[in-house]
C-alpha cells in the first residue's frame, strides 16, 4: 500500500535526527501478576500482529513476568482489556526432544525492546521474534540434536475457541483461519494466516488441531519461521507476509520496527535528569500506541464488522476499547500522531455504517472489545478539525445508537447524559436547531437520578457496586457529568461547598486511580478556580507514595501505600488494568501538563509538568515547547504562564494553539499563586462554542 511505504520512508528520515527514545522503553513494566495486564510482545505502532510469550500461569495478555514456565508464543493480544483478555491465537512452540514438555525460560536471558523479543530456554534453544505490521518473523537457534521441531496449536485462545481450519502446503507451509470469542466471550472474530519455515523437513504431522514439524539440527543452526495475517483470506495473508518479510533479513525487519517506534515516540521529547521518570514516560507512551490495529492488507482489502469485504488505500483501524480510551487516549493521540488519529476516527465512522453495536459482533475481522462513547470520540475529533466525513450520513446512525443506550443503573444514566450532550453538539454543528435542543434537554435527564443517588453522601456511598454501579462507588461516580458540572456546583450550593467535598474525597482516600470512572476528578479543581490543588495532587499521584484502598471490584481492608506508577513489572496498582492504554495516556498527559478539559471540547488544562522541558512535534513543520522554570524540587505551583511572549492568565490551551506550534513558559514556585487561573467564567463559554 502506498501510504505505508511513505510512512516508512518518513520514519527512516526522522529517526536520523531524533534521540533514541526506545532506549527508555521497558516492555516488562506492568506484566507481573495483575499489575497492569500489559505484555512484552514484539510489535510496531498500531500493528496487527503482536507475537509474544505465553507463560504458565499467564496474565491478561498471555504473560506473567513472575513465571518461568512457557507454553510457547502466540501471535495476537490486546493489552489489558479485562476479563481473561482476548487473542492468544496460533500458539507456536519450538522443542528439542518431546513436543509435550513444558519449557522453562532462562529469565536472565529474556530481552524485550520495541519491535523485538528474545529468550533462551532450558534446552539451550534460543528464540528471537521481530515483526512488521501484518507479519512476524521468528529466528530459532537450536543446539545439535536429532529431535528438533516446531509445534503449532491452532485452537489456543484466551477466550472461547470456536473454529479453525488449516491446509498443509508441501512440507514447509500451512494456511487457514481461526475463529475465537472476543473479550468476555462477547462476539467473535475470525482472521486468516499463512505460515512458512525455511528448513526442509520430514512430512509434517497433522494431529487434529496441532501440526508438528520435526527435523535435525547442527550446533547453533538457525531456523526461520514467518507468519502473515489477514482479515480477508489466507491468500492475502501470504501476500502480506511476502510484502513485509520476503526480501528483508531478520535484522532489517528488526531495524525497521525500531525506526517506526523512534519516529512515534520522538513526537514528544522530554528533558529531565531523572532517567527512571523518563523510562516511565516513554514506556507508557509506548503502551498507549499498541491499539487500535491497522488491519488493511497491502492490497487495501479488509473485512468490516459486518463480515463484508471492503477496500481502501488509507489505513483502516480496528480493535476498540472506547469505554476507557475516549477519556485520555484519543485526546493524547490527536496531538502525538494526528495523521494516524484522523484515520482512526474515519475508521470509527465507517464502523457505524457497518451496523456498529456497543460490544463486539459475531463477525469481527479481528480482536476488539467495546465501542461505547464513540459519539463523544467523534465529536472531539470534529471539534479539532480532524473529522471530515459526512455528518448527514452519520448522525442518523448515532441517533439510533443513542436511543439504545441503557439507563438501568445510576452510572449508566450519567454516562448516557454525556452521550446525549454529544448528539446535541453534533446536531448543532449540522445546523439542526430542533435536534440540538431536544438532546440538550435529554442530556439533563440524569439529574433526578443524581439528586436521588449522588447528592447526599451517606454510609452506603463507599460501597463498591453499590446501587448496581458497574465498577466503583457512589463517591467515585458522582463527579461524572463533565458536560454539566456547573449544574452540580449549583445543586450542591456553591463552589466553596464543592471544594470542601472534593477535599474530603481526596483526604479520606475515597479516590480510585486503579479504575476509570473517577480518573478525571483530580482536575475538577480547575472548574472551581483552585488549579493549585490539582497541581499538588496530580504530582503526588504521578511521583509520590499515596494511600489506595480500591481494586476493580472491592475495597481492601488494608490499603496499599506506595507509588501508583512504577517502572517494575508491578508497574501499576494491584488490579489496575492499563485498559488499552487509558491509564498510560493519563500518565503521559498529566506528566507533560496538558489534560483534556472534557472530551468533546477541544481544550486542555495547563498543569505543572514534572519535566524540565517538553517538546511536542504535532506536525513535521510545527513544534510546541513547554519550558518549566523550577528553582528547586519544592517548586510545584504555577506562578505565571507566558504563551508566545505574552502573559497568559487563563488555565487552558486550545487544541489549535498546541497544533500551530509555539512556546509556553511556566514559572513555578513553592507556594500556590491563587490568582493564576482562578477565573472560571470562561468555562461556560467553552461549552457554548
- What is the pLDDT confidence band of residue 3, given thresholds at 50, 70 and 90? very low
- State how far the Cα of 463 lies from the Cα of 453, in Å rounded to an integer: 13
Mean pLDDT of 253-272: 97
Cα distances (Å, whole numbers) of residue 478 to 455, 506, 622: 8, 14, 40
DSSP assignment of 292-361: SEE---TTSEEE-TTS-EEE-SS--EE--BHHHHTTTHHHHHHHH-HHHHHHHHHHHHHHHHTT--SB--
What is the rounded average pLDDT of the residues 620-628? 93
- Rounded-to-integer distance, Cα 85 and Cα 81, Å: 6
pLDDT in tens, 658-684: 999 999 999 999 999 999 988 777 666
Range with the poorest average pLDDT among 81-85, 162-166, 230-234, 373-377:
81-85
Please determine, for residue 122, whether its predicted confidence score (pLDDT) is greater than 50: yes
Q: Judge whether residue 83 has pLDDT over 80.
A: yes
Query: Could you tell me where the DSSP H helices lie in 338-409?
Result: 338-353, 374-383, 391-403
Query: What pLDDT, on the 0 to 100 scale, is given for residue 211?
Result: 96
pLDDT score for 19: 53
Nearest to 603 by CA among 499, 684, 503, 522: 684
Question: Measured between alpha carbons, how far is 439 from 418 in angstroms, rounded to an integer?
Answer: 10
Region 215-232: what's the mean pLDDT?
97
pLDDT class for 621, splitting at 50, 70, 90?
A: confident
Asked if residues 509 and 548 have their Cβ atoms less than 8 Å apart, the reply is yes
Give the model confidence (pLDDT) of 4-35 as tens digits.
Answer: 444 444 444 444 444 599 999 999 999 998 99
Q: How far apart are CA 495 and CA 486, in angstroms?
A: 9
Q: Give me the pLDDT at residue 369, please.
A: 93
Q: What average pLDDT does this structure show over 267-293?
A: 98
Determine what percent of the chain is predicted with pLDDT higher than 90: 86
Q: Are 315 and 343 in contact (CB under 8 A)?
A: yes
State mean pLDDT over 510-525: 95
What pLDDT is stored for residue 339 in this prediction?
Answer: 96
Q: Does 359 or 89 have the greater pLDDT score?
A: 89
> What is the per-residue pLDDT for 544?
97
Q: Residue 611's pLDDT band (boundaries 50, 70, 90)?
A: very high
> In the prediction, which pLDDT does 16 show?
40
Task: Enumerate residues 6+ apart whose C-beta is below 8 A from 432.
Answer: 395
pTM score, whole prediction: 0.96
Sign of CA dihedral 287, 288, 289, 291: positive
Q: What is the pLDDT of residue 100?
A: 74
Q: Name the H helices within 338-373.
A: 338-353
Please, are residues 316 and 295 in contact by the beta-carbon 8 Å criterion?
yes
Q: How far apart are CA 324 and CA 376, in angstroms?
A: 12
Please answer whether residues 377 and 326 qualify as being in contact, where contact means their C-beta atoms are separated by less than 8 angstroms. yes
The pLDDT value given to residue 682: 67
* Nine cell digits for residue 356: 456498529
Range 84-91 average pLDDT: 95
Q: Is 422 a residue whose pLDDT tops 80?
A: yes
Copy the grid coordinates of residue 501. Answer: 467535598
pLDDT for 357: 84
What is residue 684's predicted lDDT score, i.e. its pLDDT? 62
Beta carbons of 101 and 160 less than 8 angstroms apart: no
What's the average model confidence in pLDDT over 467-483?
93
pLDDT at 309 over 60: yes
pLDDT, tens digit (0-9, with 9 covering 90-100), for 165-212: 999 999 999 999 999 999 989 999 999 999 999 988 888 999 989 999
The Cβ-side half-sphere exposure at 381, using a 13 Å CA radius, reads 28
Amino acid at each position: 500500500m502506498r501510504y505505508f511505504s511513505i510512512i516508512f520512508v518518513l520514519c527512516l528520515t526522522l529517526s536520523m535526527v531524533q534521540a533514541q527514545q526506545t532506549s527508555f522503553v521497558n516492555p516488562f513494566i506492568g506484566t507481573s501478576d495483575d499489575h497492569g495486564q500489559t505484555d512484552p510482545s514484539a510489535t510496531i505502532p498500531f500493528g496487527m500482529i503482536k507475537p509474544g510469550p505465553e507463560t504458565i500461569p499467564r496474565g491478561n495478555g498471555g504473560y506473567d513476568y513472575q513465571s518461568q514456565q512457557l507454553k510457547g508464543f502466540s501471535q495476537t493480544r490486546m493489552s489489558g482489556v479485562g476479563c481473561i483478555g482476548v487473542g492468544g491465537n496460533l500458539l507456536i512452540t519450538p522443542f528439542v526432544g518431546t513436543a509435550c514438555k513444558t519449557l522453562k525460560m532462562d529469565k536472565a536471558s529474556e530481552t524485550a525492546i520495541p519491535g523485538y523479543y528474545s529468550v533462551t530456554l532450558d534446552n539451550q534453544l534460543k528464540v528471537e521474534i521481530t515483526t512488521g505490521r501484518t507479519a512476524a518473523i521468528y529466528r530459532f537457534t537450536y543446539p545439535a540434536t536429532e529431535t528438533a521441531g516446531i509445534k503449532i496449536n491452532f485452537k489456543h485462545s484466551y477466550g472461547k475457541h470456536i473454529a479453525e481450519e488449516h491446509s498443509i502446503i508441501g512440507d514447509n507451509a500451512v494456511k487457514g483461519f481461526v475463529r475465537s470469542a472476543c473479550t468476555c466471550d462477547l462476539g467473535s472474530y475470525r482472521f486468516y494466516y499463512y505460515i512458512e519455515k525455511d528448513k526442509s523437513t520430514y512430512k509434517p504431522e497433522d494431529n487434529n488441531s496441532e501440526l508438528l514439524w520435526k527435523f535435525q539440527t547442527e550446533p547453533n543452526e538457525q531456523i526461520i519461521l514467518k507468519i502473515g495475517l489477514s482479515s480477508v483470506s489466507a491468500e492475502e495473508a501470504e501476500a502480506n507476509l511476502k510484502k513485509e518479510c520476503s526480501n528483508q533479513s531478520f535484522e532489517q525487519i528488526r531495524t525497521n520496527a525500531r525506526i517506526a517506534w523512534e519516529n512515534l515516540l520522538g513526537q514528544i521529547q522530554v528533558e529531565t535528569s531523572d532517567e527512571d521518570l523518563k523510562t516511565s514516560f516513554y514506556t507508557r507512551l509506548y503502551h498507549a500506541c499498541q491499539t487500535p490495529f491497522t488491519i488493511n492488507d497491502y492490497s487495501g482489502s479488509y473485512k468490516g464488522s459486518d463480515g463484508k469485504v471492503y477496500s481502501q488505500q488509507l489505513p483502516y483501524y480496528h480493535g476498540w476499547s472506547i469505554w476507557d480510551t475516549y477519556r485520555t487516549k484519543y485526546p493524547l493521540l490527536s496531538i502525538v500522531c494526528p495523521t494516524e488519529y484522523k484515520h482512526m476516527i474515519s475508521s470509527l465512522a465507517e464502523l457505524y455504517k457497518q451496523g456498529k453495536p456497543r460490544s463486539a459482533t459475531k463477525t469481527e475481522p479481528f480482536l476488539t472489545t467495546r465501542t461505547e462513547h464513540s459519539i463523544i470520540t467523534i465529536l472531539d475529533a470534529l471539534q479539532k478539525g480532524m473529522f471530515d466525513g459526512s455528518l448527514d450520513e452519520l448522525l442518523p446512525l448515532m441517533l439510533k445508537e443513542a436511543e439504545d443506550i441503557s439507563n438501568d443503573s445510576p452510572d449508566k444514566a450519567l454516562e448516557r447524559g454525556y452521550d446525549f450532550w454529544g448528539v446535541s453538539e453534533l446536531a448543532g454543528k449540522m445546523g439542526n436547531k430542533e435536534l440540538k435542543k431536544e438532546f440538550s434537554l435529554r442530556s439533563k435527564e440524569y439529574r433526578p437520578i443524581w439528586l436521588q443517588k449522588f447528592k447526599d453522601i451517606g454510609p452506603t456511598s463507599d460501597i463498591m457496586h453499590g446501587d448496581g454501579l458497574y465498577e466503583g462507588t457512589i463517591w467515585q461516580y458522582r463527579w461524572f457529568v463533565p458536560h454539566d458540572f456547573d449544574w452540580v456546583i449549583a445543586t450542591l450550593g456553591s463552589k466553596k461547598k464543592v471544594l470542601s467535598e472534593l477535599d474530603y474525597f481526596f483526604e479520606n482516600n475515597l479516590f480510585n486511580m486503579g479504575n476509570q470512572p473517577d480518573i478525571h476528578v483530580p482536575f475538577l479543581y480547575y472548574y472551581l478556580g483552585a488549579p493549585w490543588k490539582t497541581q499538588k495532587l496530580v504530582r503526588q499521584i504521578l511521583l509520590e507514595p499515596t494511600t489506595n484502598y480500591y481494586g476493580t471490584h472491592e475495597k481492601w481492608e488494608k490499603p496499599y501505600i506506595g507509588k501508583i506508577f512504577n517502572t517494575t513489572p508491578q508497574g501499576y496498582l494491584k488490579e489496575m488494568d492499563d485498559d488499552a492504554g487509558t491509564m498510560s495516556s493519563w500518565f503521559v498527559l498529566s506528566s507533560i501538563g496538558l489534560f483534556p478539559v472534557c472530551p468533546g471540547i477541544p481544550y486542555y488544562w495547563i498543569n505543572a509538568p514534572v519535566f524540565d522541558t517538553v517538546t511536542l512535534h504535532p506536525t513535521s513543520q510545527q513544534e510546541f515547547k513547554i519550558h518549566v522554570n523550577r528553582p528547586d524540587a519544592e517548586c510545584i505551583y504555577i506562578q505565571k504562564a507566558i504563551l508566545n511572549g505574552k502573559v497568559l492568565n487563563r488555565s487552558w490551551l486550545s487544541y489549535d494553539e498546541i497544533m500551530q506550534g509555539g512556546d509556553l513558559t511556566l514559572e513555578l514556585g513553592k507556594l500556590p499563586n491563587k490568582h493564576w487561573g482562578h477565573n472560571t467564567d470562561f468555562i461556560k463559554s467553552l461549552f457554548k462554542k
